Amino acid sequence: MKNIMFIAPPAAGKGTQAELVVAKYHIPHISTGDILREISKEDSEIGNYVAETLAGGKLVKDEITYQLIEKRLKEDDCKNGFIIDGFPRNINQAIEYDNILKKLGYEVGNVISIVIDEKTLEKRITGRRICEDCNAIYNINETSSAPQQESICDICGGKLYQRNDDNLEAFQTRYKMYQEKTEPIIEHYRKQGVLKEVNGNDTIENVFRKIDKIISLSSK
Ligand code: AMP
């Protein structure tokens, strides 16, 4: 199947949608945010740098992301398609991603942009909770995606936590950054003829239905 890239503002639901795609199509989900959060736990110079950058809602240095993406894409499980989420996040990263893909013989595939308004995002950001064991995502502000028991994962029983950067202040920094740096890459992919836009102001199920349609139509 074709590779998939998600472009969406923070808290638009791209992590949740990526998990639904993984569950149906069994392809690896490569999230630079998840990889960086793992690195941020390391007690090392790079671990400390990444932890501080994430907590402030800023972007880590481009070079770090290139290395971790190339290393991850070289793994065998990416051969039958993968979903990339959180990368590229600016135009330089998009250009470098095109180079990495070419080098490894991969195509960009479907670039799916989730379009959603800022007020909805603000409401979502404060309610987001994540399982520390399986990374499942919940929202305590939305009945349809709240966990059955407070602070406990429905799937694996793991403890739920709130990301350091899921507060209004860090959100506003990240959203501004998204508009300035990430939105221009939408045009980059529109020009390549690979961009698909999906309205994200809808239920998880309906957004997934639209994404699933794009994937299945392009696999024919
Ligand atoms: P996410 O889980 O995608 O919202 O990413 C969480 C944080 O990780 C971001 O706010 C950035 O600090 C960092 N990050 C993730 N992906 C990238 C990237 N492609 N380039 C730079 N920083 C990134």
| pLDDT for residue 220 | 66
**How open is the CA angle 85-12-94, to the nearest 5 degrees?**
35
Residue 80: pLDDT band (50, 70, 90) is very high
Residue 77: pLDDT band (50, 70, 90) is very high
Compute the distance between CA of residue 17 and CA of residue 205 in angstroms, rounded to an integer: 9
Q: What is the set of active-site residues?
A: 14, 89, 128, 163, 174
| pLDDT for residue 206 | 95
Residue 15 has pLDDT above 90, yes or no: no
Residue 219 has pLDDT above 80, yes or no: no
Compute the distance between CA of residue 151 and CA of residue 41 in angstroms, rounded to an integer: 21
Q: Going by CA atoms, what residue is nearest to atom 10 of ligand 1? A: 57
13 contacts 204 by C-beta, under 8 angstroms: yes
Q: Going by CA atoms, what residue is nearest to atom 22 of ligand 1? A: 59
What average pLDDT does range 195-216 have in this prediction?
A: 95
Helices 62-73 and 32-39 pack at an angle, to 10 degrees, of 110
Q: 62 CA distance to ligand 1 centroid (A)? A: 10
| pLDDT for residue 142 | 84
Per the prediction, the chain carries an average pLDDT of: 93
| pLDDT for residue 203 | 87
Place of tokens 């990444």: 50
What are the tokens at 61? 């240095």
| pLDDT for residue 20 | 95
Going by the DSSP 8-state scheme, the letter that residue 159 receives in this structure is: B
Could you report the per-residue pLDDT of 82-130, keeping only the tens digit for each? Answer: 999 999 999 999 999 999 999 999 999 999 999 999 988 988 898 999 9
Q: 199 CA distance to ligand 1 centroid (A)? A: 22
Give the residue among 120, 128, 122, 125 at the shortest CA–CA distance from 202: 120
Strands of 195-199's sheet in order across: 29-31, 83-85, 4-7, 110-115, 195-199
Q: 220 CA distance to ligand 1 centroid (A)? A: 33
What average pLDDT does range 8-31 have in this prediction?
A: 93
Residue 150 has pLDDT above 90, yes or no: no
Residue 24 has pLDDT above 80, yes or no: yes
* Per-residue burial over 96-131, b = 16 or more CB atoms within 10 Å of its CB, e = otherwise: bbeebbeeeebebbbbbbbebeeeebeebbebbbbb
Counting from 1 in the atom list of ligand 1, the atom nearest the Cα of 36 is 8
Which amino acids bring their CB within 6 angstroms of ligand 1? 10, 32-33, 36, 53-54, 57-60, 65, 86-87, 89, 93, 165, 174
Compute the distance between CA of residue 174 and CA of residue 55 in angstroms, rounded to an integer: 11
